[in-house]
Chains A and B, each alone.
Chain A
Amino acid sequence: EVQLEESGGGLVQPGGSLRLSCTASGFTFSSYEMNWLRQAPGKGLEYVSYIRENGEWEHHADSVKGRFSISRDNSKNTVDLQMNSLTVEDTAVYYCARKRLGTTYFDYWGPGTLVTVSS
């Protein structure tokens, strides 16, 4: 059974940092692109970041470029999102989701982890 589980969310002050992690199981992790998406309270989903299967290419939404970075460890089946210089606008539930190369849909998602940026 495919499973994705996010961790690392919590309360952080504006300007602070947080590192989210997503642990995968039930599939060949190294065969999939991994993605982070988020949903702010009362808002729609927003694509945040993604990383290729081998970790050699990543892409970030303009709203987080220069502040967030993504990395993966295929030996541990994990993908991390390092978030720096956080603002209140980064408050959201963060989801990790997998996507196969060449497709444009996310076939499995985790349940999400809440990040709250507040003083």
Chain B
Amino acid sequence: QSALTQPASVSGSPGQSITISCTGTDTDIGSAYNRVSWYQQHPGKAPKLIIYDVTNRPSGISNRFSGSKSGNTASLTISGLQAADEANYFCTSYTTTNFFYVFGTGTEVSV
């Protein structure tokens, strides 16, 4: 399964906003299903769901995290950057290729 493309790293200063892109194809991110999710993972810890179905935040997730999609690219924006946001972020999408899931290559965020 081909991976979704993310930048290897993104950095920002405290209080700033950053955006992480996740590029796929017509059969995953670009499909009509709008089934893109984002996860935050600190070293040695379990991944944590922060965005689902492109734009939705699970209960308890800060509104500093927001998601969007345009064409074959999904984006995660973190506003009001904090030191605690330093982590690896990866996207995933349902794919109509095999009705399974494809994952992003991961982006290290440094603050």
User: Which residues of A come within 8 Å of B, CB atoms?
Assistant: 4, 44-47, 59, 61, 95, 97, 103-112
Contacts and interface: CB of A to CB of B under 8 A. Distances in A.
A47 B35 contact: no
Nearest to A45: B103
27 contacts: A44-B3, A44-B90, A44-B104, A44-B106, A45-B92, A45-B106, A47-B1, A61-B1, A95-B46, A95-B47, A97-B47, A103-B52, A104-B35, A104-B37, A104-B101, A105-B92, A106-B39, A106-B47, A106-B92, A107-B52, A107-B58, A108-B46, A109-B46, A109-B47, A110-B46, A111-B44, A111-B45
Contact of A111 (B1, B46, B52, B90): B46
A54 to B, nearest CB: 19
Given A107-B52, A109-B47, 7 more contacts: A44-B3, A61-B1, A104-B35, A104-B94, A105-B92, A108-B49, A111-B46
Interface of B: 1, 3, 33, 35, 37, 39, 44-49, 52-53, 58, 90, 92, 94, 100-106
Contacts of B102: 47
Contacts of B1: 46-47, 61
Which of B1, B3, B46 has the most chain A CB atoms inside 10 A of its CB?
Answer: B46
Contacts of B52: 103-105, 107
Would you list the 3 A-B pairs with minimal beta carbon distance, nearest first? A105-B37, A104-B35, A45-B103
B25 to A, nearest CB: 16
Nearest to B35: A104
Contacts of A61: 1, 100
A12 B3 CA distance: 28
